[in-house]
Chain A
């Protein structure tokens, strides 16, 4: 009897020990993880840039990607948790990602409120295009871009500026890693420059090509790579195409010899194809944000490479079609 009891109590001690060890391992693990800076980004591109700058010091989460319209993202419960745990947020701003700001507010996490230490002014130093001038008493047109065109992150210059802003903020928060962040920014900038040099060379023959876009998504991108945007399918940003606007646009496209209609995957394809039929401009679906689960779109550099090569491919296809005729 006594022996049995002893064995049982021994087993209890061993078991207790195991449990304690297990608990210890959990807390150790979580403290190791807690050392990483938690960063939350509304889009994949900012997340990729932050990963490049922060390296293994950051744990970055993106809430949306190139398959979705960043203007309208349906919030999910996990997003609030991510915000609650965030130390740094990288909003788009300019009233594009209102949903992201609602999540910040809902998180009740003072570290990431606008103006707090964890809130990055992502577009600082970026020249914002199409800032409207409001005159008192006049209706405001196209309110989806009330503070200018917010789709600023695609051109390499702006991506570099965003990287700088992220590096600056991370260095402010974690001065002990400042050199690491600055070195990473230099490496990332160099990586962009190399990729862009190649892309510019590949694209040089096509510079000045004329295109129409669905929404004002690619204005900055087109500016940088010297693609001439002749117009948008939306009469005003955020207002779906109307028949009268499309017929006017089609006239203009024929007159100017527009070769491409560029649009994102979530736009109305039928509208694009209809316009393509009347104008013989080629529908060219490209992306405004990276998509982690698609290899050729997995990060920022892959994204701009994909876009430029897709555009080249479609221009060449159009040239071949013409020859055949």
Chain B
């Protein structure tokens, strides 16, 4: 039907962008995990979505850049709200993030109903597909990720404050808005959450970042090869491999726990 060498140059940008996505999202994923607010991923992405739909409400046919700008502004705004509450206890934080998610979701529904459009359709329009990523997209996204990465290295806060949290969540919003428009919501969420969870199950927390990176990279590689060899949709294949690893880790962890319990019972 076709040869792998034909397809390779065509999907190379997709491959590069997924490597960049791994680099930036796994990092943010571990930081979000440290804060105990995994829901923040979805809440921030939802607020970016809300912003973009507001762009549709104000302008009839907003340009890509305009929808992106509105998405970023909205995610920064809700990022500030979330960061203002980060010094509270974990249960409250997670609850608060949940409230923000519910708020941005229902506001989106209201905005969309004013537009007379279906959210899935807008989501489809706003969310990109990794196969369609061009070299220009790769360069633009890498520039954004690079600058944000450097900023995070320079301004490494000694302890968390409102300013540090504001910085964290606004840069996070910037990254998520851009990556969702390139690779779609599902892949972005998977990179943020799944590798970190897998690593937490298997490895000591000293190596969380490193092992999460490894897990994400291996999943991406296998996902790409499978997608090309078996002609499967690329993002869903990567996501499935990622989650497969998670379940394998879960299985290993459960066996470990069982053994531990048995030993405790025996002794």
Contacts and interface: CB of A to CB of B under 8 A. Distances in A.
A313 interface: no
A313 to B, nearest CB: 33
A82 B7 CA distance: 10
B118 A106 contact: no
A81 B132 contact: no
A238 B112 CA distance: 13
A144 B7 contact: no
A90 to B, nearest CB: 20
Contacts of A180: none
Contact of B2 (A75, A78, A103): A78
A172 B152 CA distance: 59
A77 B121 contact: no
A84 B6 contact: yes
Contacts of B134: 106
Contact of A106 (B6, B10, B114, B115): B10
A103 B115 CA distance: 28
A139 B116 CA distance: 7
Contacts of B11: 77, 80
Contact of B7 (A77, A98, A103, A141): A77
B117 A142 contact: yes
A240 B227 contact: no
Contacts of A102: 129, 132
Contacts of B233: 74-76
Nearest to A146: B61
B115 A139 contact: yes
Contact of B124 (A72, A75, A76, A105): A72
Interface in A49-103: 72, 74-78, 80-82, 84, 98, 102-103
Given A80-B11, A84-B6, A140 B236 contact: no
Nearest to A73: B233
A84 to B, nearest CB: 7
Nearest to A72: B124
Contacts of A98: 125
A33 interface: no
Interface in B1-36: 1-2, 6-7, 10-11
A143 B10 contact: no
A236 B2 contact: no
Contacts of B231: 76-78
Contacts of A106: 10, 131-132, 134
A74 B227 contact: no
Task: Report, as a range, how many residues of chain B touch the other chain.
Answer: 20 to 34
A81 B121 contact: no
A276 to B, nearest CB: 23
A239 interface: yes
A178 B60 CA distance: 45
Most chain A C-beta atoms within 10 Å of own C-beta, residue among B10, B57, B134, B236: B10
Interface in A110-146: 139-144
Nearest to B235: A74
B131 A75 contact: yes
Contact of B10 (A74, A80, A141): A80
Contacts of B52: none
B7 A143 contact: no
B109 to A, nearest CB: 12
A81 B118 contact: no
B202 interface: no
B179 interface: no
Given A102-B132, A106-B132, A77 B234 contact: yes
Given A72-B124, A75-B233, A80 B118 contact: no
Residue among A78, A84, A144 with most chain B CB within 10 A: A78
A233 B125 CA distance: 23
A81 B2 contact: yes
B114 A139 contact: yes
20 contacts: A74-B236, A75-B132, A76-B234, A77-B234, A78-B231, A80-B11, A81-B7, A102-B132, A106-B131, A106-B134, A139-B114, A141-B117, A143-B121, A144-B117, A236-B116, A236-B117, A236-B118, A239-B116, A239-B118, A239-B121
Interface of B: 1-2, 6-7, 10-11, 57, 60, 114-118, 121, 124-125, 129, 131-132, 134, 227-228, 231-234, 236
Interface of A: 72, 74-78, 80-82, 84, 98, 102-103, 105-106, 139-144, 236, 238-240
Given A80-B7, A240-B118, 5 more contacts: A78-B231, A142-B117, A236-B116, A238-B118, A238-B121
